Amino acid sequence: MTAATGSGQGLDVLDLWERSVRAHPARPALVTPHRVLAYAEADRLTDAWADSLAERGAAPGRLVGLAFGDPARTVLGMLAALKAGVGFTVLDDRLPAAARAALVRRTAAAVWLGDGDHAPEAAYVPDPAPGAPGPADDGTAGTRLRAGAGGSDVAYVLFTSGSTGQPKGTVVERDALGRFATAVAERLALTPDDRWLQVASLGFDVLIEEVFPAFAAGAAVVCREDTRALDAEELHVAMARSRTTVVELSTQYWLEYARWLETAGATTPQALRTVVVGGERMDPRPYRDWQDRQPAALAHVYGLTECTVSSTFYTGRLPADAGEVPLGTPLRDVEITVRRDGRPVPDGETGEIHIGGPLLARGFLDDDAATARRFVPDPYATAPGARVYVTGDLGRFDADGQLVFLGRTDDQIKIRGHRLEPARVERALCEAAGVGQAVVFPDPATGTVLWAFTVPADPAAAPLPGEAVRLTGADRDALVAPLEAQLPDWAVPRVLHRVAVLPKNPHGKIDKKLLAAWASGPTPAPPAHIPAEAQGPAHAPAPATAGTTQAAPPAQASATPAQAAALQGSGAGAPAPDGAGPGGALGITLGLFREVLGDPRLGPDDNFFDHGGQSLLAMRLLARLRESHSGAAGLRASALFASPTPRQLAAALTATSPGGTPAGR
């Protein structure tokens, strides 16, 4: 089945912006914690920025780089670049220095705007700064500034992970961006009364979806103060205070927010009407639970950077008997077919998802070979020269015409909303001294952490067959440190094991289920440095799976008097009321580390991030801690980075003043 809607030339993305400026000059375009910029004001400011870019050499066919630590300035920079007739690229401040430097070289941007620590040396902030008086409106804004820019000119270049060992820069043209903004605004029925909260990392293509459909509808984009990730409670408060109506969350982030709402006995803020969710396969159960309990509607999306962010939306109510959450139906100007061996298959049959239409990217930056492999001529299209993108995703159209995702044709995985070729990480691991083979895959329980299993090059260094030895200390650091220097945080394995061999299944592929079973193995004796009374239960509760929104049980969250006494190095006494004493705080914190990380062997001095912790699990840990200890009421994720062990975090809790804030916040 081919699903296709829309045809003809779309409006340029700046035509959409100017239409909103004319229709709603005094309405908010950008909402920040400190200031609201109306459409007319933002228009004049970005006119001035565009002039500054042109004076410094920005011209059609070139790129402008953006490296702000401030999301609002990033949004203004995107508009200014488009007004100057050039494309933009955004440098993610979370990338390691070497990776940032490589992207700066590859984009060869004519000008860099930015003020963050990650910004290239030549980056600058144009005048006027947001909030300062801008130039007067002389009636020539927009059209004059983008003279020479056409629909086939580049709008932006954003990078995705690639199997070649370096990220691939996807080149999206202005016509595709304008059509996309129009289609999303139409599908979500956006109006000038809407406010879309920007939460995606600034190097992620979801940023495009958070900004341009809102501007096309005359709605407001709500920006955070900085790029720091919001935990579930902070997200809830930010949406309530800013009267957010639309937000887009990765699947795992949404699950954490749903978990927090249930635990807190709360519902979504009154103004919030739609939560867009995508990035990973969705379990139907939490989707139905949300629809039964929460007033905000869900929109399940599917798309790829190479096809201009999102291609399909599912906005219906999930039937009780549905075994999958559908990916939905195509946006206007998107054509989707399911093919086998290059030929479309009948509805209901499984094949590889192919995406066509004018929203396809031009291709990959300076990589004609990769472009030719994935963007192929479409022999079934009626338009001459039509192309189709080969996604590598398996799917089918159900009886209602909804696209359903069924897995991958290759080994590519999704980790925390990002696509990753495991081979890229595996090759990097094998470059380390003493490593002969490696395999990488997401943890089976939550799918949010990468696990790595390595085979020593020297058989004498291998453990016994069937054993998986967890790497810690210097052994772990020797493998992780080089990866952290070249890969984004989400692509670095946090749990590493050494095995004698990578077992194969009957199909000749590495048996990842067996490796996971080896890793779980018999629970070893607890480390000797933890007093017996403080060991807690023999088995910690299993971590919640990616498909659950149930709150973690409160068992093992608080210490018994004996545990508290042992942790204090005393043979008697009980924790202070509400677990506020030093022993109680450590007992609670240690129990929650074990619970969230699913490892009953953890001790008071084990580092959260060295044992599989990452941002989403940090949200869960802090939420559970706030439920269990009064001193954690104001604790935020930054405290965990400063105090990553149970002992350090417990000390931060007990440093709480009677009416104050926990240390390490």
Q: What is the pLDDT of residue 583?
A: 46
Q: What is the pLDDT of residue 196?
A: 98
Q: What is the pLDDT of residue 149?
A: 82
Q: What is the pLDDT of residue 283?
A: 82
CA distance 608 to 541: 17
Return the higher-pLDDT residue of 521 and 490: 490
Tens-place pLDDT, residues 332-370 = 999 999 999 889 999 999 999 999 999 999 999 999 999
Q: What is the mean pLDDT of residues 387-411?
A: 89
Q: What is the pLDDT of residue 522?
A: 58
Please count the residues of the chain: 665
Q: In this predicted structure, which of 461-475, 477-491, 547-561, 636-650 has the lowest mean pLDDT?
A: 547-561
Q: In this predicted structure, which of 4-18, 52-66, 485-499 has the lowest mean pLDDT?
A: 4-18
Tens-place pLDDT, residues 418-443 = 778 787 788 889 888 889 888 898 88
Q: What is the pLDDT of residue 519?
A: 87
**To the nearest whole number, what is the mean pLDDT of the chain?**
82
Tens-place pLDDT, residues 567-609 = 333 333 333 333 333 347 888 888 888 888 877 778 888 888 8
Q: In this predicted structure, which of 157-171, 303-317, 370-384, 437-451 has the lowest mean pLDDT?
A: 157-171
469 beta partners: 498
Q: What is the pLDDT of residue 517?
A: 87
Q: What is the pLDDT of residue 430?
A: 85
Q: pLDDT band at 534, cuts 50/70/90? A: very low
DSSP 294: -
On the question of pLDDT at 455 being above 50, the answer is yes
CA separation, residue 533 to residues 563, 567, 568, 583, 595 (Å): 5, 8, 11, 12, 18
State whether residue 229 is helix, strand or coil: coil
Q: pLDDT band at 129, cuts 50/70/90? A: low
Q: What is the mean pLDDT of residues 182-198?
A: 98
Q: What is the pLDDT of residue 507?
A: 56
CA distance 138 to 151: 26
Contact 234, 638 (CB under 8 A): no
Q: pLDDT band at 79, cuts 50/70/90? A: very high
Q: In this predicted structure, which of 26-30, 41-45, 173-177, 575-579 has the lowest mean pLDDT?
A: 575-579
Retrieve residue 549's tokens: 């929104």
CA separation, residue 278 to residues 86, 235, 304, 321 (Å): 30, 17, 11, 21
Q: What is the mean pLDDT of residues 388-400?
A: 93
**DSSP string for residues in 596-658:** HHT-TT--TT--GGGGT--HHHHHHHHHHHHHH-GGGTT--HHHHHHS-SHHHHHHHHHT--T
Q: Which amino acid is at 443?
A: D
> Residue 461, by phi and psi: left (phi above 0), alpha (psi -120 to 50) or beta?
alpha
Compute how many other C-beta atoms are within 10 angstroms of the C-beta atom of residue 213.
Answer: 27
CA distance 412 to 360: 21
Q: pLDDT band at 194, cuts 50/70/90? A: very high
Q: What is the mean pLDDT of residues 498-502?
A: 88
Q: pLDDT band at 562, cuts 50/70/90? A: very low
Tens-place pLDDT, residues 218-245 = 999 999 999 888 889 999 999 999 999 9
Q: What is the pLDDT of residue 9?
A: 61
Tens-place pLDDT, residues 603-650 = 888 888 877 777 777 877 887 787 777 777 767 766 787 888 988 888
Percent of the chain at pLDDT > 70 equals: 82
Q: What is the pLDDT of residue 228?
A: 86
Percent of the chain at pLDDT > 90 equals: 47
State whether residue 44 is helix, strand or coil: helix
